[in-house]
Chains A and B, each alone.
Chain A
Amino acid sequence: MSSHSESIIREPLITGENITYGQITDDVLRPVENMPGKAWWIGFSVASLGALLWVVAISYTFWFGIGAWGLNKTVGWAWDITGFVWWVGIGHAGTLISAVLLLFRQNWRNSINRSAEAMTIFAVICAATYIGAHMGRPWMAVYSLPLPNQYGSLWVNWNSPLIWDVFAISTYFSVSLVFWYTGLLPDIATIRDRATGLRRRIYSVMSFGWTGSVKTWQRFETVSLILAGISTPLVLSVHTIVSMDFATSLEPGWHTTIFPPYFVAGAIFSGFAMVQTLLLVARKVLGLENYITMFHIESMNKIILLTGSIVGVAYLTELFIAFYSQAEYEQYAFMNRISGPYWWAYWSMMTCNVITPQLFWFKKIRTNIPLAWTLSIVVNIGMWFERFVIIVTSLHRDYIPSSWAMFYPTWVDVSIFIGSIGLFFTMFLLFVRVLPSVAMAEVKLILKSSSEQAKRKLLESGHVEPAEAEFYINSLGKFDSVEQSSYEKV
């Protein structure tokens, strides 16, 4: 603690003047310890209606089989795998924020990692339900595991990327869950020690008996760091493997070596967009503006801009390679995407993913909350179209023109998709009510070094270069929860 010092010109990660350790606990636990407000109830009602729709549509699918979907002999994968890849991609930002930013010592992750990790868990659950449902006979899912069975030496095919996918997604889900839950222990203990009665008993069981002694913290930090170290290649591998589901086939438009990095960048892109969608609302509704500041929002927008640009380059590379390869099927696949019957999907994807994120080059847009929120939704829509374009436009017209077909979704397809969004938000809204949505312990860790009041103290001590002090005071306008007038005396 005392060994920490931070440059004054870095923006504070916690704004507000009289923030104490106790204040952080009070602020973060307000939604957990009090009855939910009107906004939460409205959100929860809408989301649970969506989840209900999902239950109906999934039950219908299980009862009647996937004939209830709009699939046909030519397009055997459509909204199901689109939804799966979309949700897995959304999950990625959580691990990225938790793991990669931890390894790079990016302290701004501290106040957003918890929600982002929760988002990962819920997104991967949504993705997994798609996988289960698209099997048609979900009770046969057990055969995707290498278990001894009555057919003798019948094992799974380890050469198949679909099996790699089973292992990648299940590992990703369980490691994310372990990472998330281990990180929650100190905060659950905080709730436990403030609660009474039944709540105390429940949180007591959930806290695993956490006491916060020195050795526990030391080991806790070691575990977090190692989990971050192994989750970083894991997150890259998961979407790489998802891309191999396509890339190892011989389908025009899929059989491409750029898919692994392209999918990973796309996943981070959509994941950060979803974090933005959730947190821009959550910070306001839960009153967390001092912890999720404009700096956090701007940083995430910069990552969206970067990954959006990588995705844009990947799209153009695909086009170039199709042209340069002189492979006519490949060239046709891309011409068909651009000007075929699904041109609208392709151009929606291009507009949402390549053009609109470029608006984040402008600082005014990057720091404008309503605009950032709108653009984050645009990105999510664009990323859904990307998966749809890859899957459906490649499948619907491949090598044999006699089998070309169109895909039209049924009400079940649409309901499962909308329902999965409802399911996701239901889980997220329940999460913010029962568990702290900001990692309190990690935020407390940076209070003495990176908060606005720590920097103010540094200014008052007079040990700061005048130029730096001026730069800092001039930059105060962008801390949205702070009044510049409070610095006049300094």
Chain B
Amino acid sequence: MSSTKYILGIFDDPDDLMHGIDKLQKNSVPIYDVYSPCPIHGIDAKLGIKDSRLGYAAFMFGCLGGTIMFSMVYYMLVHDWPINIGGKNFFAIPDFVPVTFEWTVLWTAFGMTFTFFFATHLFPGRAPRVMDLRATNDKFIIAIDARGNTPNADIDSILKEAGAVEVKHNDRKYVSYE
């Protein structure tokens, strides 16, 4: 039995890579993942990846931050330590606006970014699990799970036909840092 775990189609050009995805899909070869040094627009629709829901997280965190700050200011300024300044209202909403706004933004930014890190398994010092070191530089890579898949030679030829400059058979999932 072959020891190949993943087949990598390595492309120089993102358009060729898109073409490769089309060809693989036409031949019913499931794609494990695609790695690229820059975002490729339109690829998520092609691979059937749903829209990111980070916007909802951002909204929720924003609401939370704004509410916390507004409540905090209300508690401190109106309830806990009201100061009579020339008989003005204790509950002077316009004065609440700047800080409430700032915290809404702060919580949105931090909440959403940490959600992004959490969802994508990114954190300081995490061992980078790349399949090919060039994927962060100048190569566009399609990874295909080799086990239980169409004969590997067929996949190789599909990738080559689509314009892959190199086809690699990896017997480990991650090559660089393990």
Q: How large is the interface on A (under 10, 10 to 19, 20 to 34, 35 or more residues)?
A: 35 or more
Cα A21 to Cα B54 in complex, Å, equals 29
Query: Within 8 Å CB of A182, what residues of B?
Result: 113, 116
Q: How large is the interface on B (under 10, 10 to 19, 20 to 34, 35 or more residues)?
A: 35 or more
Q: Are A164 and B99 in contact (CB under 8 A)?
A: yes
Interface residues of A in 212-266 (CB under 8 A from B): 212-223, 226-227, 230-231, 233-234, 237, 241, 244
Cα A482 to Cα B168 in complex, Å, equals 38
A321 to B: closest C-beta gap in Å: 22
A41 to B: closest C-beta gap in Å: 28
Query: Within 8 Å CB of B42, what residues of A?
Result: 1-3
Q: Are B108 and A230 in contact (CB under 8 A)?
A: yes
B108-151 interface code vs A (CB 8 A; 1 in, 0 out): 11101100110111111111111101111111000000000000
Query: Within 8 Å CB of B116, what residues of A?
Result: 182, 219-220, 222-223
B64 at the interface (CB under 8 A from A): no
Cα A217 to Cα B18 in complex, Å, equals 16
B165 at the interface (CB under 8 A from A): no
Query: Within 8 Å CB of B43, what residues of A?
Result: 1, 214
Partner of B109, one of A157, A179, A204, A210: A179
A396 at the interface (CB under 8 A from B): no
Partner of A158, one of B73, B120, B129: B73
A22 at the interface (CB under 8 A from B): yes
Partner of B125, one of A168, A205, A223: A205
Query: Within 8 Å CB of B112, what residues of A?
Result: 223, 226-227
Interface residues of B in 44-70 (CB under 8 A from A): 44, 47, 49, 52, 54-55, 58, 62
Give the nearest-CB partner of A165 in chain B.
B98
Give the nearest-CB partner of A223 in chain B.
B116
Stretch at the interface among A129-137, A346-354, A408-416, A438-446: A438-446
**Given contact pairs A155-B81, A167-B102, A212-B36, a sample of 13 additional A-B residue pairs in the complex whose CB atoms are under 8 Å apart:** A21-B38, A21-B139, A157-B83, A158-B95, A190-B137, A206-B124, A208-B124, A208-B126, A209-B126, A211-B130, A213-B34, A214-B44, A220-B39
Cα A182 to Cα B52 in complex, Å, equals 17
Query: Within 8 Å CB of A233, what residues of B?
Result: 101, 105
Q: Are A441 and B37 in contact (CB under 8 A)?
A: yes
Query: Within 8 Å CB of A194, what residues of B?
Result: 133, 137
Q: Are A193 and B176 in contact (CB under 8 A)?
A: yes
Query: Within 8 Å CB of A167, what residues of B?
Result: 98-99, 102-103
Query: Within 8 Å CB of A214, what residues of B?
Result: 33-36, 40, 43-44, 47, 49
A101 at the interface (CB under 8 A from B): no
Stretch at the interface among A68-76, A170-178, A364-372: A170-178
Cα A168 to Cα B101 in complex, Å, equals 9
Question: Which of A174, A211, A227, A234 is packed against the most chain B CB atoms within 10 Å?
Answer: A211
Q: Are B15 and A448 in contact (CB under 8 A)?
A: yes
Q: Are B38 and A441 in contact (CB under 8 A)?
A: yes
Q: 26 A-B residue contacts at CB 8 Å?
A: A146-B72, A155-B77, A159-B92, A164-B99, A168-B102, A171-B103, A190-B136, A193-B137, A208-B126, A209-B126, A209-B127, A211-B128, A212-B130, A212-B136, A214-B40, A214-B43, A216-B122, A218-B44, A222-B54, A223-B54, A226-B58, A226-B108, A230-B58, A230-B108, A441-B38, A448-B14
